[in-house]
């Protein structure tokens, strides 16, 4: 088994925890605050990973170059926009539809990877991506009446458009982070990923903190009151991102994000075992498709 596979699975599990905590925070603060905590409270952990790799691992910190800086800026801004839109979806009653469309990220990452980096996924990988995306979308709309009218109306709904835009920005950020990490050229994939993560989170924290100081200072007090769950979001978010960055240094972003759809299986497992919620046939079909997509992806890679 290639190393990027277990790294991606671990990152998906941590992202599931982060998303659950972030959804809770949306109830005690605004969209801006719930978006910020992922970056601001993740910064100390990102710095810690670089420090440990340098001091204990003995790996030198690579020097950023112009190409690296450009890709980090693009990725950081795109991820802020994507996260903001995704958290904003929690405000809608039918946010599941929007979330489903945001999960088109692997397909969009494949397109952006081809356009920006001239990286083309193989036919088998594209089939696997398509299978897993359909599975995720089935799960996301499993509790809505499956009629042609509802399917058509969901295509042009506000939540669908927000979700698609979120997926677009996530796809851009994923490809940008891979390009930035590769631009460092060494010393190894772990330090490249950690350095990319640290520089990205520093920029994201500064941008969002500056925005709140200028436009929404009241949000800062709400964040301060919820510092404990915010710290948990930061830990899970930074560690998950470290995993994503490592995996995407080793493998194409679209393929990594396709395997990352396993996060939905973690979500459903938590729902069934912890909250004792029943899984319906549509969700079960979605699980089967995600599992099939992952199997195809691993076999053809």
Q: pTM (2 decimals)?
A: 0.84
pLDDT score of 135: 79
Q: Which two tokens stand for residue 140?
A: 């996301």
Mean pLDDT score across all residues of the chain: 84
Cα–Cα distance measured from residue 221 to residue 138, given in angstroms and rounded to the nearest whole number: 39
CA nearest 238: which of 186, 194, 206, 183?
Answer: 194
Residue 136 near residue 103, CB atoms below 8 Å: yes
Burial class (CB in 10 A: 0-12, 13-18, 19+), 261: buried
CA distance 40 to 224: 12
Euclidean distance between CA atoms 261 and 122, whole angstroms: 19
Domain containing residue 263: 4-300
State pLDDT tens for residues 126-149: 888 888 778 777 766 666 665 655
Q: Which pLDDT score, from 0 to 100, does residue 270 have?
A: 66
Q: What is the dihedral of CA 229, 233, 239, 243, to 10 degrees?
A: 150
Collect all residues with Cβ–Cβ distance below 8 Å to 146 and sequence separation of at least 6. Answer: 282
CB atoms within 10 A of CB 32: 19
* Entry field: residues in the chain: 301
Task: Give how many domains the chain has, as a whole number.
Answer: 1
User: pLDDT in tens for each of the 301 residues of the chain?
Assistant: 689 999 999 999 998 888 778 777 877 888 788 889 989 999 999 999 999 999 999 999 999 999 999 999 999 999 989 888 877 776 665 555 556 667 778 878 888 888 888 887 777 878 888 887 787 777 666 666 656 555 555 556 677 788 888 889 999 999 999 999 999 998 999 999 999 999 999 999 999 999 999 988 899 999 999 999 899 999 999 999 999 999 999 999 988 988 888 877 777 776 667 656 666 777 778 778 877 887 787 776 5
Q: Identify whether 296 is preceded by a cis peptide bond (ω within 30 of 0).
A: no
């Amino acid at each position: 088994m290639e190393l990027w596979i277990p790294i991606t699975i671990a990152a998906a599990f941590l992202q599931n925890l982060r998303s659950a905590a972030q959804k809770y925070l949306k109830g005690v603060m605004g969209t801006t605050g719930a978006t910020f905590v992922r970056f601001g409270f993740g910064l100390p952990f990102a710095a810690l990973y670089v420090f440990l790799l340098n001091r204990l691992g003995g790996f030198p910190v690579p020097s950023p170059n112009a190409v690296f800086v450009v890709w980090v800026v693009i990725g950081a801004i795109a991820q802020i926009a994507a996260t903001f839109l995704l958290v904003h979806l929690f405000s809608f009653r039918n946010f599941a539809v929007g979330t489903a469309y945001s999960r088109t990220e692997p397909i969009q990452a494949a397109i952006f990877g081809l356009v920006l980096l001239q990286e083309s996924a193989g036919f088998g990988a594209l089939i696997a991506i398509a299978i897993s995306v359909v599975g995720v979308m089935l799960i996301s709309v499993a509790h809505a009446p499956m009629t042609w009218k509802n399917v058509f109306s969901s295509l042009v709904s506000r939540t669908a458009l927000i979700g698609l835009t979120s997926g677009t920005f996530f796809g851009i950020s994923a490809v940008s982070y891979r390009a930035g990490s590769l631009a460092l050229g060494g010393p190894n994939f772990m330090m490249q990923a950690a350095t990319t993560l640290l520089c990205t989170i520093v920029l994201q924290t500064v941008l969002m903190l500056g925005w709140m100081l200028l436009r929404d200072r009241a949000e800062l007090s709400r964040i301060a009151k919820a510092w404990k769950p915010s710290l948990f979001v930061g830990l899970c978010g930074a560690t998950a991102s470290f995993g994503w960055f490592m995996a995407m240094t080793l493998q194409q972003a679209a393929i990594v994000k396709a395997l990352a759809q396993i996060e939905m299986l973690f979500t459903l497992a938590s729902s069934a075992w912890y909250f004792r919620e029943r899984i319906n046939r549509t969700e079960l079909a979605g699980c089967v498709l995600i599992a099939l997509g992952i199997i195809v992806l691993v076999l053809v890679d």
